[in-house]
Amino acid sequence: MMEAEQLLKKIEESHYWDARVKGLSTSFFGDELDLIYEDDDREVVLKFSNCYQIKYNHALNYDKEKPVRELTRNQLPYFLQNIELQDCIYNGIKYFKCKISMPPLDLEILSKDLIVLKE
């Protein structure tokens, strides 16, 4: 089994579908990305590191009535709908390619490392 398949299975065990996304942040000039979502009575953190591409696509037809920083946790509009993860090799180097759908936002991440933490 490929590494991406094993990680995706671990992510799917958290039953992420329709889970509320509580946080999304990047650090170190986009080298790291953390996505935090609710899973029953705990949080799951997807920690991407050694990132080479991070693409944000926020729906233009979704009106941000006020800044996201002013929203309470229950007002956040982001719920996970789909996560795709695959192993990719570019110039002999292995990467993870991850697509995350959490309307009105979609992400695409290309990274060397991914850790799934259940806290």
Closest-CA residue to 90 (of 31, 46, 50): 50
Mean pLDDT of 70-74: 86
Number of structural domains in the chain: 1
Helix (H, G, I), strand (E, B) or coil at 4: helix
The whole domain housing 96 covers 3-118
pLDDT tens track for 77-102: 999 999 999 999 999 999 999 999 99
Tell me the pLDDT band of 62, cut-offs 50, 70 and 90.
confident
When the pLDDT of each residue in the chain is averaged and rounded to a whole number, the result is 93
Percentage of the chain beyond pLDDT 90 is: 76
Q: What are phi and psi of 23, to 5 degrees?
A: -160, 145
